[in-house]
A = this chain, B = another copy of it.
Amino acid sequence: MERFSNISMAVVRRLPKYHRYLGDLLNNDIRRVSSQELSRITGFTASQIRQDLNCFGGFGQQGYGYNVDELYKEIGKILGLDKTYKTVIIGAGNVGRAIANYTFFDESGFKLHGMFDNSPKKIGDNIKNITVMPIDELESFIKENEIEIGILCTPKEGTQKIAERLVECGIKGIWNFAPVDLKLDSNVIIENVHLSESLFTISYLLKEQDETKKKKK
């Protein structure tokens, strides 16, 4: 497969959307799509779409559009979805359990190998056929099983420390659900899902909307 480095993160973040919409088209047995049609569905402009997809080589043909099946598979490959990834979840609370049970996670090649917690109440619990292990066993488990991704579902306090331990064991990526900006001296990949920030954005916008309505009255 070709290498496509120096692709901007903005493009990378649009790719999953293309992949999702192309999957929908395939499910509806649509085999061919124009950039105009993709624009209507995705909300991106047709020229944006052509430009994005050109970053990865020429998938479209003028006058024909894109072959949906081919484009879907290619974007899947570009996204690395043809591979599998070994993961562990740290923190067996509600968020950790939800991720463990998230079918999409499994379907996308992310295989859960272990779960860890420091609470005696949770250690030993069985979640999706995985027994929650004590956090002390984190390092040995990651090394023995060549785990690539650590998923942090830990409370705010202690998350930075756990992340440092993951880096020490040579983890490659961290999916972080804790409301903390990790500071790590390493080129480990960090992807944050900051639910609280998302929630605060709603609260801000609701407040703004209410005040605008009051003003109009």
Q: Are B207 and A80 in contact, with the CB atoms below 8 A?
A: yes
CB-contact partner of A200 in B5, B19, B102, under 8 A: B19
Contacts of A200 in B (CB 8 A): 15-16, 19, 79, 81, 108
Cα–Cα, bound, A197→B208 (Å): 28
Interface residues of A in 58-103 (CB under 8 A from B): 78-81, 83, 85, 93-95, 97-98, 101-102
Interface residues of A in 158-217 (CB under 8 A from B): 172-173, 175, 179, 181, 187, 189, 191, 193-209, 211-212, 215
Cα–Cα, bound, A212→B83 (Å): 16
Q: Is A120 an interface residue (CB 8 A)?
A: no
Contacts of A97 in B (CB 8 A): 94, 98
Q: Is A117 an interface residue (CB 8 A)?
A: no
Q: Is A20 an interface residue (CB 8 A)?
A: yes
Besides A15-B200, A98-B98, A108-B200, 17 other A-B contacts (C-beta < 8 A): A16-B194, A16-B197, A19-B200, A20-B179, A43-B181, A80-B207, A81-B203, A108-B196, A108-B203, A109-B203, A149-B202, A149-B206, A173-B202, A175-B199, A189-B202, A189-B205, A193-B195
CB within 8 Å of B: which residues of A? 3, 5, 12-13, 15-17, 19-20, 42-43, 78-81, 83, 85, 93-95, 97-98, 101-102, 104-105, 108-110, 148-149, 172-173, 175, 179, 181, 187, 189, 191, 193-209, 211-212, 215
